[in-house]
Amino acid sequence: MYPKRLLPLAVAATALLVTACGTSSEDASDPGSSTSPSASASESASPSPSGTPKPKPKPQPEPSRPPSSEKPVRGLVSAGGAAKGALEKTATELTDQAAIEKYAAGLGDSLRAPFTTEATTLLRHVPAGERLYAQTVYDGCDQPDESTITATSSGGEVVLKVAPPKSTKIQCLVAERSVALLSVEVPVG
């Protein structure tokens, strides 16, 4: 007699336990953040005050480098085993595809193709009044953060700098070489 009475209670308790075990503390505190298909379907089909179902907006992936007309474009390309010669003291202006190919020819083999692809993509998004520049800026085991790329100009030369990554004490057999790409405003005059 007792097992039959406790069975519905045990099923309900098990369902609650399984549901709670599959969520983090953040998800548990925010009922709208459920990612299960059944939860999404029931949420998107829930009627709005007017009685019509309101669709739940799909999260859009954030682009890795959103080119815009207001902000300079920037990129950082790194490859292991690409250290060929010393780091450059000044940046090279990349005005067209021929300039990109010429610059890439001086890079190590493992860096040439990824650099050409990235530079070609960024060149299409350089804002009006700016030019794209490239410079080898770092050799090391970690890749620097592209958001730290800055430019200075002096006497008609542009110099790109990047903050070195925080030391993670990683030991690597082959250091990566990083090339910074940044669009810089062309001085008027």
pLDDT in tens, 3-50: 556 566 666 666 554 455 544 444 444 444 444 444 444 444 445 555
pLDDT 10s digits, 150-173: 999 888 899 999 998 887 666 777
Please give the Cα distance from 142 to 178 (Å, whole number).
9
Rounded to 10 deg, the angle between the 109-123 and 97-105 helix axes is 160
- Residue 139 pLDDT: 87
d(CA 138, CA 176): 8
Whether 99 contacts 93, CB under 8 Å: yes
Q: What is the pTM of this model?
A: 0.61
Least-confidence region, from 74-88, 92-106, 125-139: 74-88
- The model's pLDDT over 59-70, given as tens digits with 9 standing for 90+, comes to 554 444 444 446
Instruction: Write out pLDDT tens, residues 109-154.
Output: 999 999 999 999 999 999 999 999 999 999 888 888 999 999 998 8
